[in-house]
Amino acid sequence: MIGEIDPFIINLTIFVLAIFVGYHVVWNVTPALHTPLMSVTNAISSIIIVGAMLAAGPAETDWGVWLGAAAVTLAAVNVFGGFLVSQRMLEMFKKKDKKGNT
């Protein structure tokens, strides 16, 4: 039966289920961390780097490959920038009880 289903339908199934997962997970995020949430999701959305790498992949380099390479660079800025700035912010949310003001 699986063989008869259009891949689009399978992808659509994944899409709808993923939205539900996203919905439930995100409502559980504490409001204090909404800014880090944005920077983390931003880094995650740069998963399109996968598409960019495929575009830059073929050994025969035509202009499409260079466009892909440009997209890899843009997405890489986002991957590193997004995760590192999130890390920097989240470090600030550490407990500070070592300073002895409790």
Site residues for other proteins, window 57-76 (CB under 8 A)?
57-59, 61-65, 67-76
**Residue 5 found at the interface with other proteins (CB under 8 A):** no
Angle between helices 34-45 and 63-92 (to 10 degrees): 160
**Residue 19 found at the interface with other proteins (CB under 8 A):** yes
Of the candidates 54, 55, 34, 48, the residue with the CA atom closest to the CA atom of residue 78: 48
How many CA atoms does the CB half-sphere of 63 hold within 13 Å?
A: 0
For other proteins, the binding residue among 1, 4, 28, 100 (CB under 8 A) is 28
Type of residue at 55:
A
**Residue 101 found at the interface with other proteins (CB under 8 A):** yes
d(C-alpha 84, C-alpha 22), whole Å: 22
**Residue 96 found at the interface with other proteins (CB under 8 A):** yes
Q: How far is the CB of 3 from other proteins (least distance, A)?
A: 15
**Residue 4 found at the interface with other proteins (CB under 8 A):** no
